[in-house]
A and B are shown apart, each in its own frame.
Chain A
């Protein structure tokens, strides 16, 4: 390793350490708005990045905590950040990562085929436990409607993260981009027995 890359790595890690520390100290005063919701999950069949059919309702209503978002493979700006937050959650959970069920649902089902979704997850180095789902336009519309997230066109997309607690089946709804620490806290909250 050259001096330069060594130094860069040190800087990178130092920054992370400081960030982690600072955020834990401040987790109490929340900087974003959230709400608690109940949703009726539709009984549709979607398809994952491996071309496997997924019975959506039973897949979501599990005893694992679920984090769900709406993205599409060619989306700019917000999807990269949403997906980075999924990866970071997996990284921060470490060995617990497979216990979290992370679900990204495409809002561009015509373009996002299993192959494209698989490439996308690979680009983000997703670990097992994070799936990307597509389906017929009608089924995707039903899913969006069920989560009060319907948009008529992908270009009016907005950021939304939903977290389901297996305790009571309630969902935390967060309609803005949050930090990785904040997502981790929310996740732990949902997971607590």
Chain B
């Protein structure tokens, strides 16, 4: 109760009560017939009530279109545009823990149930619990079940049904009778039933693979995943016995479930994937999608998971959907787009290129080329820069000597971004010899692959390379060789290592979720995870946070030392500012 004066509290309460009486006298009961659809409250249909309730809960917007208003921390007026119930209680309503403040669950199932915890854990006790288990200890202290009336009192005045004054961080809301009814109706429906795909014994997952994926890459995804699932299931007996007869039948054991993993194999062109996914889902209503790999785009799977609100955790793709609002797919990174982004930040912030210098992007007009160039251009313009000159090569067009000479003679670029594979080696020789040599060239190690080491010596001084992983020297994570019998190429090694990260994250997430089998909660507990350093991943770091959907945020910019087996020289931080 620090910083919150009781006397203030009482005065606030009395003013609010007076207001409420006023509202009651004026009376805003709208009574209309509910029509054919299932009814919600205040004369609205169920669907409409839930939509309006969700707007209050998630966006802080009242049915009138105005933001919700409230008082926080005793005397601070706030409104719904700054933050909403969701900012603290999370999308699922199951609460959070941050800065020593426990935000208790606020979904109907928890609110309308008496609580028996005699004493809440203190912030310092809370700190001693392993971080990943903290979400399991969000129970509010002892109180009777709420009723619609006492819930309204808690939201208006911050007093729970036992008379306890709620922490002043919980805002005291100004909500009229009608809006309160709509919000309460929403809370009752929020995380009311466990999500689809979970039974008393099993959580069902699926993974997605498409027919054009090279067999070794497909195996690199499937073998570790299937091995993880069978390994976990073989330990299930112990947990089941402990939960049944164990002296310490802990909630953790009770929440232990076997996992099942379906393979959803997609055939044919991407336009047909959605229909196939729907059909698989009808037959096997899974809780979430794990990993997966497609040749080319991921968009159809992304849309499927977004629309059905099915979490999709860490798929293998170079083409994540770049979005600030999509919620259900957690990607490893922004893929190729992120390399373009890193070049823009390096060139704009670190090199600080003078604004009058010309930047040219050369790329093939393919999915790859467009991802790199969009990543660069959007970030570059976000830095307040003029758009670059884009030279998109049509199908069949190659980067010839003439092409390059014409380009450098005509545009005199200071910087060339060459989003090209092994052909970049010869191009770089031409550029190095040309009269109007640009000051800097950027390339992608992802596209160059083995050709990285073949870049001409005479070009290495002015050439920078994007490298979206942790650098190989130093304590790189040791691969568990017998994890799979897959022949190991550079690409499959990366995939296997990513699947290892996925399995480590999944183990934590399942533990943190406890028996709250709600899809939204599954993503939220991952959001609450600590950063995963290099021992967990082949990226420099994976990090999470509410709504953050690209776990690796970085990409190195390197230069090459001289010789056949060149040193990789780091020219940037992992994340460039």
Contacts of B398 in A (CB 8 A): none
Contacts of B168 in A (CB 8 A): 177, 179
- Choice from B23, B71, B530, B545 contacting A19 with Cβ under 8 Å: B71
A19:B11 contact, CB within 8 angstroms: yes
The interface stretch among B31-39, B46-54, B77-85, B281-289 is B77-85
- Choice from B7, B16, B82, B98 contacting A77 with Cβ under 8 Å: B98
A150, chain B: closest CB distance, angstroms: 15
B573, chain A: closest CB distance, angstroms: 5
Contacts of A87 in B (CB 8 A): 82
Asked if B569 lies at the interface with its beta carbon under 8 angstroms from chain A, I say no
Q: Give A8 to B8 CA distance when docked, in angstroms.
A: 20
The interface stretch among B183-191, B219-227, B438-446, B546-554 is B546-554
Q: Give A5 to B67 CA distance when docked, in angstroms.
A: 12
B87:A76 contact, CB within 8 angstroms: yes
Asked if B3 lies at the interface with its beta carbon under 8 angstroms from chain A, I say yes
Interface centre among A4, A78, A156, A179 (most CB of B within 10 A): A179
B3:A78 contact, CB within 8 angstroms: no
Chain A 149-179: CB-based contact to B (< 8 A → 1; otherwise 0) = 0000111111100000000000000001111
B545:A134 contact, CB within 8 angstroms: no
Q: Give A27 to B96 CA distance when docked, in angstroms.
A: 32
A123:B382 contact, CB within 8 angstroms: no
A153, chain B: closest CB distance, angstroms: 5
A110:B546 contact, CB within 8 angstroms: no
Asked if A83 lies at the interface with its beta carbon under 8 angstroms from chain B, I say yes
The interface stretch among B99-107, B114-122, B141-149, B311-319 is B99-107
- Choice from A19, A31, A137 contacting B75 with Cβ under 8 Å: A19
Asked if B88 lies at the interface with its beta carbon under 8 angstroms from chain A, I say yes
Contacts of A4 in B (CB 8 A): 23, 26, 28, 176
Closest chain A residue, CB of each to CB of B20: A11
A31:B98 contact, CB within 8 angstroms: no
Chain A 97-116: CB-based contact to B (< 8 A → 1; otherwise 0) = 00000000000111101110
Asked if B479 lies at the interface with its beta carbon under 8 angstroms from chain A, I say no
A177:B3 contact, CB within 8 angstroms: yes
Interface centre among A22, A81, A111, A137 (most CB of B within 10 A): A81
Closest chain A residue, CB of each to CB of B542: A110
In this complex, how many residues of chain B approach chain A with their Cβ under 8 Å: the count is 67
Chain B 57-93: CB-based contact to A (< 8 A → 1; otherwise 0) = 0000000101001011111111001110001101000
Contacts of B541 in A (CB 8 A): 110
Q: Give A108 to B11 CA distance when docked, in angstroms.
A: 39
A71, chain B: closest CB distance, angstroms: 10
B75:A180 contact, CB within 8 angstroms: yes
A78:B169 contact, CB within 8 angstroms: yes
Contacts of B531 in A (CB 8 A): 153-154
A77:B103 contact, CB within 8 angstroms: yes
A22, chain B: closest CB distance, angstroms: 5
- Choice from A11, A26, A84 contacting B5 with Cβ under 8 Å: A26
- Choice from B174, B383, B384, B548 contacting A8 with Cβ under 8 Å: B174
Asked if B22 lies at the interface with its beta carbon under 8 angstroms from chain A, I say yes
Q: Give A145 to B253 CA distance when docked, in angstroms.
A: 40
B174:A88 contact, CB within 8 angstroms: no
Known: A4-B176, A14-B15. A179 touches B73 (CB 8 A): yes
B576, chain A: closest CB distance, angstroms: 8
A155:B131 contact, CB within 8 angstroms: yes
Q: Give A155 to B23 CA distance when docked, in angstroms.
A: 42
A31:B545 contact, CB within 8 angstroms: no
Closest chain B residue, CB of each to CB of A184: B75
A12:B73 contact, CB within 8 angstroms: no
Asked if A136 lies at the interface with its beta carbon under 8 angstroms from chain B, I say yes
A136:B575 contact, CB within 8 angstroms: yes
A154:B2 contact, CB within 8 angstroms: no
Q: Give A11 to B15 CA distance when docked, in angstroms.
A: 8
B376, chain A: closest CB distance, angstroms: 15
Asked if B357 lies at the interface with its beta carbon under 8 angstroms from chain A, I say no
B461, chain A: closest CB distance, angstroms: 25
Contacts of B403 in A (CB 8 A): none
B546:A137 contact, CB within 8 angstroms: no
- Choice from A84, A135, A158 contacting B577 with Cβ under 8 Å: A135
Asked if B45 lies at the interface with its beta carbon under 8 angstroms from chain A, I say no
Contacts of A49 in B (CB 8 A): none
Contacts of A15 in B (CB 8 A): 12, 15-16, 19, 71
Asked if A182 lies at the interface with its beta carbon under 8 angstroms from chain B, I say yes
Asked if B404 lies at the interface with its beta carbon under 8 angstroms from chain A, I say no
Interface centre among B18, B82, B348, B384 (most CB of A within 10 A): B82
B320, chain A: closest CB distance, angstroms: 16
Closest chain B residue, CB of each to CB of A179: B74
Contacts of B12 in A (CB 8 A): 15, 18-19
Contacts of A80 in B (CB 8 A): 72, 78, 82-83, 87-88
**What 15 new A-B contacts, CB under 8 Å, besides A19-B75, A113-B577?**
A12-B77, A22-B7, A51-B383, A76-B546, A77-B99, A80-B72, A80-B78, A80-B83, A81-B72, A84-B72, A110-B575, A111-B543, A177-B169, A179-B73, A181-B74
What are 24 A-B contacts with C-beta separation under 8 Å?
A4-B26, A4-B176, A5-B64, A7-B22, A18-B15, A19-B11, A19-B71, A26-B5, A47-B349, A74-B546, A75-B98, A76-B90, A77-B99, A78-B99, A80-B82, A80-B87, A81-B73, A81-B169, A108-B545, A125-B82, A134-B577, A177-B169, A178-B73, A180-B75
Closest 10 CB pairs of A and B: A78-B99, A11-B19, A80-B83, A74-B545, A110-B553, A179-B74, A178-B3, A19-B75, A180-B76, A77-B98
